Structure 1
Amino acid sequence: MARARTLTTLAAAGAVLAASLTLTTTPPIASAHPTPSTAAGEPGRPTTVSTGWTIPWGVSWLPDGSAALVTERDDFRVWRVSRDGKDKQLLGTVPESQTTGGEGGLMGIAVDPAWNTSRHVYVMHTSAEGNRIARMTYDGTSLTGYKPLLKGIKKNRYHNGGRLAFGPDGHLYATTGDAQDKPLAQDKNSLSGKILRLTKDGGPAPGNPFGNYVYSLGHRNPQGLAFDARGRLWEAELGDSKRDELNLIKPGGNYGWPTCEGACGVAGLTDPKKTWPVADASPSGAAVIDGAVYLAALRGKRLWRVPINADNENVGTAKAYYVGEYGRLRSVTAVPGADELWLSTTNADANGGQPDGSDKILRVPIG
């Protein structure tokens, strides 16, 4: 699958977090529904926005909501896709990228919430020395000025994490896997098995609980990050052989791996808010909209919806949608200014076994 290309010219690119810094203007989106007819607040039948993809991984929207940027993992390519899906433009490739022959490559993408003045775009990708977070500048015509901000995050064939998201505090959050070196997840001085919190210039964000990049620890392979309307951070995490997790992340929290998988019940370790058998989930992308967390499931081949409570930390009953209909699901993203989700497949990876170009982006309308 690894098809690394020589650096090409990067054309106009940029992506922005759909929600504002206060996260109060996120468009309402509710649960998915398995039938064409819609109940109140639930999505109807998905339609295809764009085809011809090979492992689309990260999705982020331009400031005006006219188009989204999409990364392809193994080719390191960045594309611009118009809101209606009719215009798909190759913007170029991210330099110094490599695959790991497994899950590494070009992964997450996020844009500075102050993009209109800074023009900064952030990516997370695998390189020769390890996984890294880098910044580029989008001048309206091309994506230039590649600058690594944080290097040396341990890489492996599997468990690389890779998601990026800006928080309501204006800082950049990133997920990292344990790189199949389990003890690193409990090492506060390691970047692996963590959620990291960075400034826009790549330094440890002020107020981080351990005085370094680490925001939370004890993670195995986190791949979903999403903030709710109250500014709370929710995380989707792939388990080992027993339980996948939905966690409510707090600074300094220890989420248990490798001491436990799923609920721990151990003093000093934080239990997940929801768990699933790994065959039913293996969650990658996450989105929060209209009082619910949505998780795109890889092995489970379904979209999960978990209601959350604005007044406390309780969650409701999880419900699955589109089970097996579209194969492996990688990302789920709220469409700015509309009652819609974008949902991407990842069937062209090694586990999906489909040929290059077989993946697609789906639009999920909300009734």
Structure 2
Amino acid sequence: MQRRAAAAVLAAASLLLASGCSSGDGGTPGADRSTSPGRTAPGSSSSGKTAEATPPAKGSVKVVRTVAQGLKTPWGLAPLPDGDLLVTSRDDGTITRIDEKTGKKTELGSVPGVSAAGEGGLLGIALSPSYASDHMIYAYFTTASDNRIARLLHEEHKPSGEQLGAPDTVFKGIPKGFIHNGGRIAFGPDNMLYAGTGESGNRGLAQDKKSLGGKILRMTPEGEPAPGNPFGDSVVYSYGHRNVQGLAWDDKQRLFAAEFGQDTWDELNAIKPGGNYGWPDAEGRSGDAKYRDPIAQWHTAEASPSGIAYAEGSLWMAGLRGQRLWRVPLKGTEASAAPQAFLKGTYGRLRTVVPAGDGKLWVTTSETDGRGTPGKGDDRILELQVT
């Protein structure tokens, strides 16, 4: 099997963290923040308008039920073909199957080589586009030396705890840090594998197109640069990102991404191949033609976004420090109305959002990640009905 070893990260640029740190991060700007929220400031992009139908400016969210509870540091979530859910534990390095009807947990096993510290550990998860025949699970995780993506055979016939085959590394060399490890992976409508990475606290990596840090990557399932990538024989798809943890496509196969700002603006971006999203030279809307402006932005206390999903004509974005679910109605690649907040403070920090079909979403909480305040039942997976 082909494996792609990533290009070496270039020499150090300045170690991040300028003055003006957010006090809610334990002195770490841009970490998954947990202090109380502030105020909203939606933005818009300059991309072309379309003739598409516009969803209502106001939507709704109804909590249908708690699917599962008592989860430890849940991060990635992937639905199986039969409706059950796979969830990763960032700190334990395990993958667990959740019976979608009863909430029963069955541990598949541990991913070897996971080194959990800070924001690193076992993060995103995705099923192979050919899962029905190959039963492959893809996982993004932090090791002692880097962040990498591996695929593991799901051997359902084996006992609990022994259902994961040996990891086959398809991509490695993504910069790791105590913070800003990115971690979201997803197969796109083109069956290519996309990964959101962070700049690992080394801000200069985001503008360096030879580095894998602060990027969205696009590759084949074997870890090779995907055909049509903007920079030739490179997996880099877009750059100038700080810490991408949300990836989703709308019904027209357009890619969107959510990322953490530092102290001022968190972003929701419409992603274009080869686009430069500005970090560290721009945070939020800059109006500089060199950079692509976000379609919406928030003060960090209101968002600190992680996962996003598309449903009912809108993007739905989980807020960690913001402790709420944001709805961003779309017209083309623009926000058609101001973002609308739901579940404010009701379930604490929200990490991952996944479409569940029929106008429903699965949402995971993130209270046990070291920055929350866990209560009875945390962490949990919720089922929501949205419009």
TM bin (shorter chain): 0.7 to 0.9
**How far apart in 2 are the matches of 1:241 and 1:46?**
35
Of the three residues 352, 355, 360, the one matched with 2:380 is 360
Determine if contact 2:248/2:256 at 8 Å carries over to the other structure. yes
Determine if contact 1:126/1:132 at 8 Å carries over to the other structure. yes
- Partner residue of 2:79? 61
TM-score (norm 2): 0.81
**How far apart in 1 are the matches of 2:257 and 2:77?**
17
- Partner residue of 1:215? 237
* 1:252 shift after superposition: 0.2
Q: Secondary structure at the match of 1:335?
A: strand
1:345 equivalent to 2:361? Answer no
Tell me: CA distance 1:103–1:122, structure 2 relative to 1, closer, same or farther (3 Å): same
**How far apart in 2 are the matches of 1:339 and 1:314?**
19
1:127 equivalent to 2:143? Answer yes
Q: Secondary structure at the match of 2:194?
A: strand
Of the three residues 198, 208, 214, the one matched with 1:177 is 198
Tell me: CA distance 1:207–1:75, structure 2 relative to 1, closer, same or farther (3 Å): same
- Partner residue of 2:170? 149
Determine if contact 2:224/2:235 at 8 Å carries over to the other structure. yes
Runs of 4+ deviating beyond 6 Å: 30-33
**How far apart in 2 are the matches of 1:132 and 1:353?**
30
- Partner residue of 1:252? 274
Tell me: CA distance 1:349–1:83, structure 2 relative to 1, closer, same or farther (3 Å): same
Structure 2 spans left out of the alignment, 5+ residues: 1-54, 158-162
Deviations 1:296-341 (A, max 9, x none): 000000000000114x5443220000111111000111114x4321
**How far apart in 2 are the matches of 1:314 and 1:295?**
13
- Partner residue of 2:60? 42
- Partner residue of 1:52? 70
* 1:86 shift after superposition: 3.0
Structure 1 spans left out of the alignment, 5+ residues: 1-29, 34-40
Determine if contact 1:254/1:268 at 8 Å carries over to the other structure. yes
1:61-80 alignment, distance < 5 Å: 61-64=79-82, 66-80=83-97
1:285 equivalent to 2:300? Answer no
* 1:365 shift after superposition: 2.5
**How far apart in 1 are the matches of 2:377 and 2:343?**
21
Determine if contact 1:209/1:252 at 8 Å carries over to the other structure. yes
**Considering only aligned residues, what root-mean-square deviation do their CA atoms show, in Å?**
1.9
Of the three residues 313, 318, 326, the one matched with 1:296 is 318
TM-score (norm 1): 0.85
**How far apart in 1 are the matches of 2:377 and 2:183?**
22
Determine if contact 1:225/1:233 at 8 Å carries over to the other structure. yes
**How far apart in 2 are the matches of 1:339 and 1:122?**
26
Q: Secondary structure at the match of 2:267?
A: strand
